[in-house]
Amino acid sequence: MADPRSDSSLESLRKQAKRWLRELRRGDAAALQRLERVLPRHSTPPVLREVQQALAREQGLASWAELREQRELEALAASGRHELLQVFLEHACIFTPPRDFPSKWRRAERIHARHPELATASIHSAVVCGEVGHVRRLLDAEPALLTARGGPQQWEPLLFACYGRLPNERARRHALEVATLLLERGADPNAHFVTPDDWKLRFSALTGAMGQGEMGQPEHPEADALARLLLQRGADPNESQGLYNTHLVGDDTRWLELLFQHGLCADHRINWHAEPEAATHSGFDPELRVLDYLVCGAAQNAHTARLEILLAHGANPDATSFYDGKSCYEHALMSGSREAVELLRRYGATVVTLAGHDAFVAAVRTGRRAEALQSIRDHPDYRELAGPLTVAAGRGETEVVRLLLELGVDPNRENQHGHLALHNACQHREIAELLLQHGADPRARAFGGTVCQWAANAGGLELARFHAEQSRSLLDAATSGHLELAQELLRDDAGCLEERSPEGDGPLHLLCADAERAEPLISLLLQYGADPTQRNDAGETPAQHLEAAGSDEIADLLDAARDESR
């Protein structure tokens, strides 16, 4: 039998696993003994994922995924240290591709662990890794490195210090010391990068320390100390982008308090656009005060602690929302928060009485059933306005959703941004069940995806299976790894195999990323005649589509099953 270490390329490993599986399926005694040495508990007959795991264990690794990644990194390293360094720097930071999930930073640390020489490969990697002594030596020898741009981001070193999130104790322990050294040598505390899109958003060093944003990026491990250091060295306290990022979730005043201590004031205008034309393009008034922007969000979300500190520092209690033109007071009434309403009154907000649909929303959110019912009687068209229902569904507000549905609000209407209530509630089963009981369409799509796909993308595979059971779609069964449902659907009507997504994806394109669930589904679908060469509208076969989505292991399983079925 061939030595499994004789050719360690990823493609060779894939072929080895398939060859080993074929030997096992033929009843080869030596192949079985080899398997049982490293994986004594296996299926009968063994399946490909078990053979892949055994191959990984033979090479001292816990899983096929680890083995694959090791080979990919080896191939990357073979192409040159520069390429490996670029991948490391990209994965070690927030607000860079790929998307900001913990697996991204863990991969950077695995690269670092396997290639420790990268820590001193450049001033940028030395900063990320907390190699303060090496940073000092580099700057002593070549002071111009202080502003040298590096990595695929083309950032200067201070930005790597503030945006780095390498899960490494040394990096965490020395991060503040590295940033201090850079600033003492003359680094600009207002260093920033500009996003390449039409928005031209300005992300400063301070924004990097603060983190957060739409994806909830983690703040820097030394966020407080790092932010104070930057502000003491001259960073602009009007950190509009950072304040936007940190106002989205939770009623936390920590960053506001710090920035007010260092000079943030009511006169500051929003400055997250690097170019005036970008502000005009996005519709923002360049004269809009940052506190007035934030106070509207605090009122709308009933963030009363944030609301109070903003008002106390001069935010306009009559500020109106950029998004809908409604005043803070109107938003506070519509949020149902008596405390927010009283705060605004105390600070002199113009008291208004809600009318029309706004009054209806306020009645619903405060549980004033009789008033809400009368509004619906007077204005039956309110049942067609989806905003309140989609918002309540996304926030997990069961009783608000229940009341809106009892009042006859249509659960299948999109809100102004294209959201559907069922999709927004994809992680709230009780609310999803309520919506379904009132006629929500489990096959409806929002932004191209079914609610099952939304749940799966959010990491809720069990909830995805629940949604697949409601839609009774073979595509959803594949997405959620629901073998029993797929079997039932195919037995009842094998024609469901022809179901396609709007992008032309078939069930094999949409296979669940869980190998244990995906493998029997592959066998079932191929047994019923699914075509593994069928291309979607982008011209991708199922295996190509799966690889593009990062499901290489599932693509391998599909390729092996296709080879066996020939």
**Burial group, residue 271, by CB count within 10 angstroms (0-12, 13-18, 19+):** middle
Give the model confidence (pLDDT) of 279-288 as tens digits. Answer: 777 777 778 9
Work out the percent of the chain whose per-residue pLDDT is above 90: 70
CA distance 434 to 401: 8
Q: Is beta strand 445-446 parallel, antiparallel or unpaired with respect to 449-450? A: antiparallel
H helices, E strands: number in the chain = 32, 4
CA distance 460 to 353: 42
Residue 239 and residue 92 in one domain: yes
Cα separation of the two ends of the chain: 25
In a domain, 418, yes or no: no
**Burial group, residue 199, by CB count within 10 angstroms (0-12, 13-18, 19+):** middle
The pTM score is 0.76
In a domain, 448, yes or no: no
Cα 197 to the center of its chain, rounded Å: 19
Quick one: pLDDT at residue 275?
Answer: 82
Residue 162 and residue 95 in one domain: yes
CA distance 335 to 341: 9
Residues written for the chain: 566
- As a whole number, mean pLDDT of residues 204-220 equals 93
Amino acid letter, 332: A
Q: Do the Cβ atoms of 390 and 366 come closer than 8 Å? A: no
Q: Do the Cβ atoms of 435 and 422 come closer than 8 Å? A: yes
Range of the domain at 57: 10-72
Least confident of 13-22, 318-327, 423-432: 13-22
Nearest Cα to Cα of residue 528 among 482, 481, 562, 495: 495
- CATH value at residue 192: 1.25.40
Residue 104 and residue 67 in one domain: no
Residue 210 and residue 232 in one domain: yes
**Domain end point (choices 300, 335, 352):** 352
* DSSP state letter for 381: G
Q: Which pair of tokens denotes residue 102?
A: 């913990």
More confident position, 65 or 398: 398
- As a whole number, mean pLDDT of residues 63-89 equals 79
Work out the percent of the chain whose per-residue pLDDT is above 70: 97
Quick one: pLDDT at residue 315?
Answer: 97
What one-character-per-residue DSSP string does 496-536 give?
GGG---TT---TTTT--S-HHHHHHHHHHHHHTT--TT---
Residue 34, CA distances (Å) to 4, 14, 26, 47 in order: 11, 17, 14, 15
Helix (H) or strand (E) holding 203, with range, is strand 202-204
Residue 186 and residue 97 in one domain: yes
Quick one: pLDDT at residue 566?
Answer: 58
- As a whole number, mean pLDDT of residues 283-294 equals 88
Q: Is beta strand 449-450 parallel, antiparallel or unpaired with respect to 202-204? A: unpaired
Residue 109 and residue 220 in one domain: yes
Nearest Cα to Cα of residue 450 among 430, 431, 432: 432
Number of structural domains, the chain? 4
* Residue 401, SS3 per DSSP: helix
CA distance 542 to 555: 8
**Domain end point (choices 223, 244, 265):** 244
In a domain, 265, yes or no: no
Quick one: pLDDT at residue 512?
Answer: 92
Q: Do the Cβ atoms of 96 and 128 come closer than 8 Å? A: no
Residue 62 and residue 167 in one domain: no
* DSSP state letter for 149: -
In a domain, 55, yes or no: yes
Q: Do the Cβ atoms of 92 and 100 come closer than 8 Å? A: no
In a domain, 441, yes or no: no
pLDDT at 69 > cutoff 60: yes
| Cβ atoms within 10 Å of 183's Cβ, excluding its own | 22
In a domain, 426, yes or no: no
Residue 88 and residue 65 in one domain: no
Nearest Cα to Cα of residue 93 among 71, 124, 119, 136: 124
pLDDT at 344 > cutoff 70: yes
- CATH value at residue 347: 1.25.40.20
In a domain, 159, yes or no: yes
CA distance 224 to 254: 9
Q: Which pair of tokens denotes residue 70?
A: 């090791």
Give the model confidence (pLDDT) of 90-104 as tens digits. Answer: 999 999 987 787 878
Mean pLDDT for all residues in the chain: 91
Give the angle 501-503-508 at the CA atoms, nearest 5°. 60
* DSSP state letter for 119: G
Residue 139 and residue 214 in one domain: yes
Quick one: pLDDT at residue 74?
Answer: 73
User: In the structure, what pLDDT confidence band is assigned to residue 454 with cuts at 50, 70 and 90?
Assistant: very high
pLDDT at 5 > cutoff 50: no
Residue 234 and residue 318 in one domain: no
* Residue 343, SS3 per DSSP: helix
Query: What are the residues facing 269 on neighbouring strands?
Result: 289
Residue 25 and residue 163 in one domain: no
Residue 306 and residue 200 in one domain: no
Least confident of 211-225, 240-254, 267-281, 326-340: 267-281
Rounded to 5 degrees, φ, ψ at 472 are 50, 45
* Residue 532, SS3 per DSSP: coil
Quick one: pLDDT at residue 107?
Answer: 84
- What sign does the dihedral 156-157-163-167 (CA atoms) show? positive
Give the model confidence (pLDDT) of 9-59 as tens digits. Answer: 767 887 888 889 889 988 999 999 999 998 998 888 888 888 888 888 988
- What sign does the dihedral 126-129-134-136 (CA atoms) show? positive
Long-range contacts, stretch 113-120, CB < 8 angstroms, 24+ apart: 114/70, 114/73, 115/73, 115/77, 115/84, 115/88, 117/81, 118/81, 118/84, 118/85, 118/88
